[in-house]
Amino acid sequence: MSAAPMLSVKDLTHWYGARLGCRDVSFDLWPGEVLGIVGESGSGKSTLLSCLSCANQPSGGQVLYRDRTGAMVDVHALSEPRQRLLMRSDWGVVHQNPRDGLRMGVSAGANIGERLMAVGARHYGDIRTGAQDWLGRVEIADDRTDDLPRTFSGGMQQRLQIARTLVTHPRLVFMDEPTGGLDVSVQARLLDLLRGLVADLGLSVIIVTHDLAVARLLAHRLMVMKDGTVIESGLTDQVLDDPHHPYTQLLVSSVLQV
């Protein structure tokens, strides 16, 4: 077990004007740990994710990240170039809608290659080999390399987005409902793939989902959110099998048996 957390979140709060996004969220995330954030729509989980991933500047609180040199940096105090560099190199985001994370007008290979080129790769052969290697890892056939993502099914697009995100070997990945909008059998395949990749690469992941089965399969621990605050957190199976907060009990009992 490594001794230091990779991400340390302190009292993170975000207001949309007078409306609360999330309030006083604090947690640590260790290398290789997968944290699930569950809750119903409007519970503040997506707000929290956007504040963590620098898509939003929070109204209060801190997000400290331990970079590759071991130094703790306050990500919201970083200059925008440093933030964007972090997003390109150390961090990755998997959006719910693959269209938000892909360039629909360029080929699958270029979608993956772009992330490599964005961090300086300038050898076409290497970029293409890297792209095809990742297509293979997300189970997309080589002969689709030069096809446009819009010719792909929803599940394939999502797998392509995952490949595009992981190709630069990020250390921390944010996922927003990565299986949302996919039918059940496609979901199962994607989850299984994600589970394998996360374990193989030792990724730290923060995954937002309203699907408790997804949370159980992927997350080591959970935070349950309601009305912008974290109402219960702990080991995934503990939260799901022995929920204490009334809302968590309601949430767990509302789910069909999984």
Partner 1 sequence: MDTGYNYAYLDEQTKRMIRRAILKAVAIPGYQVPFAGREMPLPYGWGTGGIQLTAAVIGPDDTLKVIDQGADDTTNAVSIRRFFARTAAVATTEKTTEATVIQTRHRIPETPLREGQMLIYQVPIPEPLRWMEPRETETRKMHALQEYGVMHVKLYEDIAHYGRIATSYNYPVLVNGRYVMAPSPIPKFDNPKMDRMPALQLFGAGREKRIYAVPPYTRVESLDFDDHPFEVQTWDGACALCGATDSYLDEVVTDDAGGRMFVCSDSDYCGDRRAAGHVGDQGATAADYVRVTEAGQ
Partner 2 sequence: MTPIIQVQNLSKSFTLHTQGGVTIPVFSNLSVDVAAGQCVALHGPSGCGKSTLMRTLYANYKPTQGRVVVLHDGAPVDMVAATPRAILDVRRRTLGYVSQFLRVIPRVPTLDIVAEPLRTWGVGAEEARDVAAGLLTRLRIPERLWALAPATFSGGEQQRVNIARGFCAPYPALLLDEPTASLDHANRETVLSLIEEAKARGAAIVGIFHDAPARERVCDSLFEIESFRSAA
Q: How many residues bind partner 2 (CB under 8 A)?
A: 23
Shortest reach from residue 29's CB to partner 1, in Å: 27
Shortest reach from residue 91's CB to partner 1, in Å: 15
Is the distance from CB of 160 to CB of 195 less than 8 angstroms? no
Question: 194-213: which residues touch partner 2 (CB under 8 A)?
Answer: 195
70, interface contact from partner 1, partner 2, none, CB < 5-8 Å by kind = none
Among 9, 14, 33, 140, binds partner 2 (CB under 8 A): 33
Among 71, 81, 184, 257, binds partner 1 (CB under 8 A): 81
114, interface contact from partner 2, partner 1, none, CB < 5-8 Å by kind = partner 1
DSSP string, 204-250: EEEEEES-HHHHHHH-SEEEEEETTEEEEEEEHHHHHHS--SHHHHH
Give whole-number Cα distances, 165 to 29, 132, 176, 254, in Å.
20, 14, 13, 33
- What amino acid occupies position 246? P
d(CA 149, CA 133): 17
DSSP assignment letter at 165: H
Within 10 angstroms of residue 105's Cβ, the number of other Cβ atoms is: 10
Is residue 62 near partner 1 by the rule CB under 8 A?
A: no
Is residue 189 near partner 2 by the rule CB under 8 A?
A: yes
Shortest reach from residue 46's CB to partner 2, in Å: 23
Shortest reach from residue 145's CB to partner 1, in Å: 7
Question: 126-165: which residues touch partner 1 (CB under 8 A)?
Answer: 127-128, 145-146
Is residue 78 near partner 1 by the rule CB under 8 A?
A: no
What angle, 0 to 180 degrees and rounded to 10, lies between the N-to-C axes of helices 124-137 and 154-166? 130
Residue closest to 178 by CA, chosen among 79, 117, 240, 96: 96
**225 CA to centre of own chain:** 17
Among 2, 16, 24, 124, binds partner 1 (CB under 8 A): 124
Task: Describe the chain by its helix, strand, coil percentages, rounded to 5.
Answer: 40, 25, 35
User: Sign of torsion, CA 143 144 145 146?
Assistant: positive
Our CB check for partner 2 shows the closer of 14 and 221 to be 221
Shortest reach from residue 1's CB to partner 2, in Å: 5
Is residue 72 near partner 2 by the rule CB under 8 A?
A: no
Is residue 188 near partner 2 by the rule CB under 8 A?
A: yes
Structure tokens, 210: 């309203």
Q: Which residues bind partner 2 (CB under 8 A)?
A: 1, 30, 33, 188-189, 192, 195, 217, 220-221, 234-238, 241-242, 244-246, 249-250, 253
Q: Which residues bind partner 1 (CB under 8 A)?
A: 80-81, 84, 88, 103, 106-107, 109-110, 113-115, 117-120, 122-125, 127-128, 145-146
